[in-house]
A and B are shown apart, each in its own frame.
Chain A
Amino acid sequence: TSSTKPLREYEVLSVEFQRVETPFIIGIWIFFASLAKIGFHMTPKLSKIFPESCLLIVVGVVVGVLLFQADSVHVSPLTPDTFFLYMLPPIILDAGYFMPNRLFFDHLGTILLFAVLGTIFNTLSIGASLWVLGKSGLFRCETPLLDMFLFSALISAVDPVAVLAVFEEIHVNEILYIVVFGESLLNDAVTVVLYHMFETYSEMGPSRITYTDILSGLASFVVVAIGGTIIGVIWGFATGFVTRFTDEVRVIEPIFIFVMAYLAYLNAEIFHMSGILAITFCGITMKNYVEANISHKSHTTVKYTMKMLSSSSETIIFMFLGVATVNNAHVWNTWFVLMTIFFCSVYRIIGVIVLTALANQFRLHKLDKVEKFVMSYGGLRGAVAFALVLLIDPKHVPLQPMFVTTTIAVIYFTVFIQGITIKPLVKILNVKRAEKRKPTMNERIHERIMDHIMAGIEDIVGKHGNYHVRDKFKRFDNKFIRPFLVRDHRGAEPKILETYSKLAMKDALDYIRRNASTI
């Protein structure tokens, strides 16, 4: 402190690292993660074979080993709080904001089936199987039923970060993509509930659990899911409303979008609702209105900032996952690890087969064998599971260190083995690939006509299907919501106008480029 320092001399140069330590280290982390990313893109051979997420984990492990040798891992970079509060929201907001809404709602039934029933099925079956095996003495340790369920709740959730990271690179067709990705987003509600439920149960001890506790668990699922969604939608509408008045101060438009979405996330987390659902639906909702309100430049800013934030978060998460692997608190239990991986894969496959059979009863586009395979194979586990396992209190659950090691093993297995093989497999199985495109004027108009035709036919047949519901929502939106949230509300078909002005702008730019000398 200053009292011990000689005060007489005025120091021209002094070193004070303490004060800047935390932000400096964070800066260094981001810097190195980004450097690593540049590195991969400069070595095309490497990034063709390995998905980026694998390479980032490897870099993380290397850094971890270096830090471990230098004995300076006093700050573990991937703590549950940094993960859930700072690193996860940008990725999910990016996903929700750029969600193909129509595709998402068309397949919502299937997505919900997988996210809710699928996750519950996986949790219960994995937990029960591990417990039964534990009874047989294979793991050479005490395996209480509730602890097993707590573990299976966190390990059975498909991870949105890992799924996005792998699926973005392979470009499978849009239906496959939206089903797997939608599942990974929406299953958060189920995971949060099951996790908190079993955490509380295992603290209470099995003898004191009553039927009411189980019933309130079920009730809390509904509350967590619907509550999170409603919070998100409300913040989404609010964002639309606020941006209605920003036409004089264009520079703060992106701020509202980011801050209000983040507030939606935190707001949901305050009440232990699903923050992931809240921010997803906030993004989905706000996009409809915000895009009509903000300037073209703000829109570009929002787009690139969002992409940048999410991709750097993703980079850092995978790198931290690698770093966090290297420590000396591991409890390796070969059978437990093997059996967990085995059950995760087997029950994923069984779940997909059963649930697609169920979903196909109601679907126009039936999910075929190849799609089922990619769906079960694409069920990657990732950092959400890792952050959740770190949250378990070892005082209540003595097996926690073993769970941590096993979770890391499962993540490595899915990210490395499944992540590396999925690209060639998709090629071998000849999965339909996605084609990126912007709609032409003809497509936009004729497809809207088809929507109206289909809505009309559904009304004639008396079937209240997708088209009917969308038609109703659109009418409601145009009459009661858009006029309040959109500054310059014009006409019932904003998409047609939007496509037109985009194409016109592109034409103008092309014209300028070609005839630069005439201007």
Chain B
Amino acid sequence: MGNRSSLLLREEEIAQIQEATGFTPNQIERLYSRFTSLDRGDCGTLSREDFLRIPELAINPLGERIVNAFFEESGNDRVNFLQFMQVLAHFRPVKKNNPNRLNSRQEKLKFAFKMYDLDNDDLISKDELLAILHMMVGANISEEQLTSIAERTIVEADENGDGMISFEEFCKALERTDVEQKMSIRFLS
């Protein structure tokens, strides 16, 4: 499959993707082969079902939201290869000499922030936080306890007292976290 898929990618496409995402041609070809193997319908784009057919992703508490991030990039219900790559580019390791656009600390944090922020108002409300906690922690915890965890989290980060966490406050709360490290994976080249 690797050979067939590399034939389908034209040189200029690779160059274009490389320009847009910073991946090396080798990485692009590798990921393209993964892309085509996910693409069950052989139509060059991925649907929601194509993603959710990955068994681990389907049971990941954030699976659906991660998949949504891909469709937000595309704006409709199919994801083409370039869009696929643009989302993945967020997780490229940060190189010191190359302050790249998609994989900067800011962009990585933005990606994590969007996991909470469902209504896209650039604020995490208590309900949005609670929803995430529900998904992660599971059923055995009492509602009151989850609520008090959510409240405590917001109070801790909230600086302007609006009862919500803005993106700036979110970044501030994670000042000491090595986001560059935590939100990067080594793509095989």
Contact = CB atoms under 8 A, between A and B. Distances in A.
B57 interface: yes
A461 B88 contact: yes
Interface string A337-365: 00000000000000000000000001111
B54 A459 contact: yes
A455 B177 CA distance: 18
Interface range for B: 35 or more
Interface string B41-68: 0000000000100101101111100100
A445 B185 contact: no
Interface string A83-95: 0000000000000
- Grouping DSSP codes into helix (H, G, I), strand (E, B) and loop, the B interface class, with mixed when no group exceeds half, is helix
Contacts of B152: 441, 500, 503-504
Nearest to A457: B91
B53 to A, nearest CB: 11
B60 A455 contact: yes
Given A364-B186, A440-B156, A442-B174, A493 B66 contact: no
Contacts of A508: none
Interface string A39-64: 00000000000000000000000000
B153 interface: yes
Interface stretch (A313-321, A415-423, A484-492): A484-492
B167 to A, nearest CB: 12
Interface stretch (A187-195, A370-378, A463-471): A463-471
B157 interface: yes
Interface string B172-189: 011011010111111110
Interface in A432-463: 435, 437, 440-443, 445-463
A429 interface: no
Contacts of A489: 140
Contacts of A365: 181
Contacts of A448: 136
Given A442-B157, A465-B186, A500-B149, A457 B176 contact: no
A449 B152 CA distance: 17
Interface in A465-519: 465, 467-468, 471-472, 475, 489-493, 496-497, 500, 503-504
Contacts of A440: 156, 173
A460 B37 CA distance: 11
Contact of A450 (B59, B141, B182): B182
A365 B178 CA distance: 11
B176 A445 contact: no
Most B CB contacts (10 A, CB to CB) among A446, A450, A504 go to A446
Nearest to A488: B140
Contacts of B15: none
Contact of B177 (A446, A492, A497): A446
A364 B185 CA distance: 7
Contacts of A503: 152
9 pairs of A and B residues whose beta carbons are closest in the complex: A442-B173, A456-B66, A459-B56, A492-B138, A452-B62, A441-B153, A491-B140, A490-B140, A493-B137
Given A365-B181, A442-B157, A468-B56, 5 more contacts: A441-B152, A457-B66, A462-B37, A475-B59, A491-B141
Interface of A: 362-365, 435, 437, 440-443, 445-463, 465, 467-468, 471-472, 475, 489-493, 496-497, 500, 503-504
25 contacts: A364-B93, A364-B181, A364-B185, A435-B176, A442-B156, A442-B157, A446-B112, A446-B170, A446-B174, A449-B136, A450-B183, A452-B61, A453-B111, A454-B185, A455-B56, A457-B88, A458-B185, A460-B88, A461-B31, A468-B56, A471-B56, A490-B140, A493-B137, A496-B149, A500-B148
